[in-house]
A and B are shown apart, each in its own frame.
Chain A
Amino acid sequence: MSNNSATTIELPTYKASDFASDQDVRWCPGCGDYAVLTGIRKALSKLQHKKEDYVFVSGIGCAARFPYYMETYGLHSIHGRSLAVATGVKMANPDLQVCIVSGDGDLLSIGGNHTLHALRRNIDLTVVLLNNRIYGLTKGQTSPTSEVGKVTKSTPLGSVDEPVNPLAFALASGATFVARSLDVDLKNFDVIYKRAMEHEGAALIEVYQDCNIFNHKAWFYASQKETRADNTLHLEHGKPMIFGKDKNKGLRLNAGSLEIVELGGAFTEEDLIVHDETNRRMAFLLTHMEHPEFPEPMGVFYVDADKPSHGARIREQMDAELARPDAGDLQSLITGDSTWEVH
């Protein structure tokens, strides 16, 4: 049972500007977050939900300032805990559309545990992980996605920690929608984000986001026009995996391993892997395609549309329980079944 009373039958038409709050956006000029903000405002104006049903939840970090800039209900919570807070919001009112926007530090360092469990439970929410491979708000320390050898204020001799692979982690945790996008590619982000929000279950989108102050160009190999085609691979369900400026390279499976091949010679499109969004094992392989050895996949890696969400399972249990003849009988509950009388 939720406390929300839905009264409107017809949805109003929204503009992207309806989702802009009155707060001045304070990210540094050139920050990749601006694009994502624009993208999300635009996408929400097209989705079929009432504006008052959205709740944005964030933790701490530059990315986590996001809710303040959205004219929706929002919670700027504490470092790492946005997914736990969001779980409570969604459980209390399953009709709300819950979206988390946060960063690599917030979601994978202090928040790693909560990210794991919210995805494992398949809570119906969407996580936008703005990955800039650094701690921006605290001015430039390594994050769990920083590469080995990264020199920062806290690692002047170069980081000795291996980075975590966010999408492999998300898949292993049990996310039922896993995708990747670029902050500069609004067209594909729009498609991905809408699909993630419509997906009933835990969705995680990793966005390669540029922090131009503390980690500029970290993703340039993938984001810049000159190199994007060779260094990324656009995933499309049902289509063979082709990449390259001239679309002449492809991906095939050779004795169980991924292999890059040139098309037009010994290999044709028929030899290539056809992307199957429903194939979880393949999705794991895709998450391990890393630059420079492989082009990095962009798009929707994996979707499980059938696994019941956490809320659906609770709904089923609750409906059965609320149908009991003693449902709501507070007096019987308090009295219990073993009483005696004093006269």
Chain B
Amino acid sequence: MSPKTNGAVAEAPLESVVIRFCGDSGDGMQLAGDQFTNTSALFGNDIATFPDFPAEIRAPRGTTYGVSAFQLQFSSHDIFTPGDTINAMVAMNPAGFKVNIDSVEPGGIVIVNSDEFEKNSLEKCGYEPGYNPLEDEAVTSKYKVFHVPMSRMTRESLADSTMGAKDIDRCRNMFALGVAYWLYERPLDATIEYINSYYGIKKNRPEVAEANVKALKAGYFFGETAELFPSRYTVAPAKLEPGTYRRISGNEATALGLVTAASKAGKQLFYGSYPITPASDILHALARLEHMNALTFQAEDEIAAICAAIGAAFAGDIAVTGTSGPGLALKGEALGLAVIYELPLVVVDVQRAGPSTGMPTKTEQADLLQAMFGRHGECPCIVLAASSPADCFERAIEAVRLAVRQMCPVVLLTDGSVANGAEPWKVPNVEDIPRIKIEHPVHAGLTGEQFEPYLRDSKTLSRPWAIPGTKGLEHRLGGLEKQVRTGAVSYDPDNHDEMVRLRAEKVDRAADVIAPLTVRGPASGDTLVLGWGGTFGTITSTGDKLRAMGRDVSTAHLHHLNPFPSNLGEVLRSFKRVIIPEINSGQLRMLIRAKYLIDAIGFNDVNGRGFFIDDLAERIIAVMDH
């Protein structure tokens, strides 16, 4: 691109930028944000994203509840979160502006589609009649507001197009993207390639591809030639560990992890699921992978999904079901069946704000106690939690590995922010991923030798995984309590007590192969901030920031919630105080207090969003200084 920028000053490189695109849910903000992310990742920045969709499919145009936003942070150093305050916002309409302006930092850049700030749209999103924020001195003095007539400019740039007015207007997001690319000196190539391949080839609508590319370039050139922006900015590539990188979201990583695990086990992957926000994308991803020996089953309901997975596990597949909180609630009884059958099963719960229908597109981590206890009877399951989008890959493989080793269900908790958020991921070499060794018993062939389906391995306490089709090992599994070795139905009191203990001890034995908890910062000291799940980025960044300020704060993040890592007690006791920030009312805190008798302090914001670094740091300091 031409270095001549019509007088705009190229500012000193920024360390990181947080940019948010927002507009009506039909305005293509997700696509714009996605493309900006992709371009930045390919450019070499570390990125972290936060897509913010409304729950409705298409709310009435111009309303605040129909606003869809996409936020990303791109940086020249290692970042963990999509950012707390926004440095630059692109608002396609007054509703987007109204909902998001308070998150923009004072002095931040605000680029608006000025054509849409007219009387009707302004009133529709709830502004007082006659009020226009663009004319309000309180706004214009606080932010650097740039009026860009995107609607008009897009139409003008596509005056020769054969497309109708509505389709032309749909290219406004590309115009906006072009402006943002110019402002942050991003190359257009990746997006042009995407447009041509998606619209031009895949959708076979070359006129749409051409129009989008035109609009994109028009936006870029507008930035270059219009005397609107006094400055442009760059963010240099980050120094990541050398290797081949790709961008990955949590749901993508979960799907890839499951396929990898099944491949390493030499088995077919069976995924039974029912569409539910925000987990459906795992089903969509796996449904395209029959060529990788993955079989997906869209069941008629959540219960059928897990039951089919249980049947598949009995028959010898690596069996998984995926859902969100409401679905996990429905699966409770069947999970109990899997526990008493003692079959390997993975249940992925992509947590969202509850209770009940709650806020489907907002994140939360309030299913921990449900994962631990949401079944009748003494019914323990292994519980894991992913800490970031890329971590979902590791965790999914570990879930399968543990399920098979301990012959029991494993609940893998992720959440909306991790599932939909994206980050760069150093592509692993699959050869380096260890095999998952599975041995199905075969009948020795000796007469009179009775197969005992519940005879346990002395190390793992797991029973043998004998699968139908194997001669001589015919046996029946049932939901009734069973006798210790033979598996025959038993109501004997001592036997039941023993089986309850054995099933619990078997889950605990997973701790033998779980990595110890690592502490970031001093191994002992004043304050430990302990987290789990999607708060990893925020908590880690907060700890780093506090230590840079000279504070004695360490952080640790649990991937294993049941059983806990065997060194957890020791870690907790190495600090004077333990703080547990959670996006729930104190679920991990309850478990920690119950097991370790440590009076941990909870920071509990159940707001569908999570914590901000500066706010969290302030609260930790307040506790430390009290």
Contact = CB atoms under 8 A, between A and B. Distances in A.
Contact of B478 (A5, A68, A333, A339): A68
B430 A72 contact: no
Contacts of B304: 81, 84, 87, 113-114, 117
Contacts of B272: 88
A253 interface: no
Contacts of B42: 338, 340
A330 B430 contact: yes
A76 B477 contact: yes
B260 interface: yes
B315 A328 contact: no
Contact of A89 (B300, B311, B472): B311
B226 interface: no
Given A3-B467, A117-B300, A72 B308 contact: no
A92 interface: yes
A4 B268 CA distance: 11
A324 interface: yes
Interface string B30-60: 0000000010011010000000000000000
Contacts of A73: 314, 468, 474-476
A342 interface: yes
A55 B15 CA distance: 62
B89 interface: no
B307 A52 contact: no
A95 B467 CA distance: 13
A-B pairs with lowest CB-CB distance, top 8: A88-B311, A76-B478, A88-B308, A84-B307, A92-B315, A74-B476, A4-B469, A321-B290
Contacts of B470: 52
A336 interface: yes
A179 to B, nearest CB: 24
A321 B334 CA distance: 32
A314 B470 CA distance: 24
Interface string B305-344: 1011111111111010000000000000110010001000
Interface of A: 1-6, 8, 21, 23, 50-57, 60, 67-68, 70-78, 81, 84-93, 95-96, 113-114, 116-117, 314, 317-318, 321-322, 324, 326-328, 330-331, 333-336, 338-343
Contacts of B469: 3-6, 52-53, 93, 95-96
Interface of B: 38, 41-42, 44, 190, 237, 239-247, 256, 259-260, 263, 267-268, 270, 272, 289-293, 295, 297, 299-301, 303-305, 307-317, 319, 333-334, 337, 341, 427-430, 467-480, 488-489
A27 B621 CA distance: 69
A86 B311 CA distance: 6
5 contacts: A3-B315, A23-B488, A74-B475, A87-B304, A334-B256
B311 A322 contact: no
Given A96-B468, A340-B41, A334 B334 contact: no
A51 B468 CA distance: 10
Nearest to B304: A84
Nearest to A114: B304
Nearest to B428: A334
Contacts of B427: 334-336, 339
Contact of A91 (B241, B242, B270, B300): B270
Contact of B291 (A52, A55, A114, A328): A328
B259 A330 contact: yes
A95 B268 CA distance: 15
A91 B290 CA distance: 13
Given A340-B41, A342-B240, A89 B293 contact: no
B412 to A, nearest CB: 18
Contacts of A53: 468-469
A117 B299 CA distance: 9
- Which residue, of A56, A86, A92, has the highest number of chain B Cβ atoms within 10 A? A92
Contacts of A88: 270, 272, 297, 307-315, 319
Contacts of A2: 268
Contacts of A87: 297, 304, 307-308, 311
A91 B312 contact: yes
Contacts of A81: 303-304, 307, 334
A317 B290 contact: yes
B264 to A, nearest CB: 9
Contacts of A336: 246, 427
Contact of B317 (A54, A55, A70, A92): A92
Nearest to B431: A331
Given A317-B290, A318-B290, 20 more contacts: A1-B293, A5-B469, A54-B468, A60-B479, A67-B476, A68-B476, A73-B314, A73-B476, A84-B307, A84-B308, A88-B314, A89-B312, A89-B314, A90-B311, A96-B315, A114-B300, A117-B304, A330-B260, A334-B427, A340-B41
A91 B304 CA distance: 13
A92 B311 contact: yes
A53 B467 CA distance: 10
A78 B334 contact: yes
Contact of A72 (B260, B312, B474): B474
A53 B474 CA distance: 9
B468 A335 contact: no
B311 A57 contact: yes
B432 to A, nearest CB: 11
B44 A342 contact: yes
Contacts of A326: 291
A92 B292 contact: no
Given A84-B304, A87-B308, A334-B260, A75 B291 contact: no
B245 A340 contact: yes
B317 A3 contact: yes
B311 A75 contact: yes
A340 B272 CA distance: 34
Given A85-B308, A328-B292, A75 B477 contact: yes
B270 A322 contact: no
Contact of B268 (A3, A72, A96): A3
B294 to A, nearest CB: 10
Contacts of B247: 338
Contacts of A85: 307-308, 310-311, 314
A4 B312 CA distance: 13
Given A87-B304, A92-B311, A51 B317 contact: no
A31 to B, nearest CB: 18
B317 A342 contact: no
- Which residue, of B239, B292, B489, has the highest number of chain A Cβ atoms within 10 A? B292
- Which residue, of A2, A68, A91, has the highest number of chain B Cβ atoms within 10 A? A91
A300 B132 CA distance: 75
Contacts of B477: 74-76
Contacts of B468: 4, 52-55, 73, 89, 93, 96
Contacts of B38: 338
Contacts of A70: 476
A20 to B, nearest CB: 12
A184 B459 CA distance: 52
A72 B471 CA distance: 10
Nearest to B343: A75
B309 to A, nearest CB: 6
B76 to A, nearest CB: 12
A6 B468 CA distance: 11
Contacts of A321: 290-291
Contacts of B309: 88
A2 B469 CA distance: 11
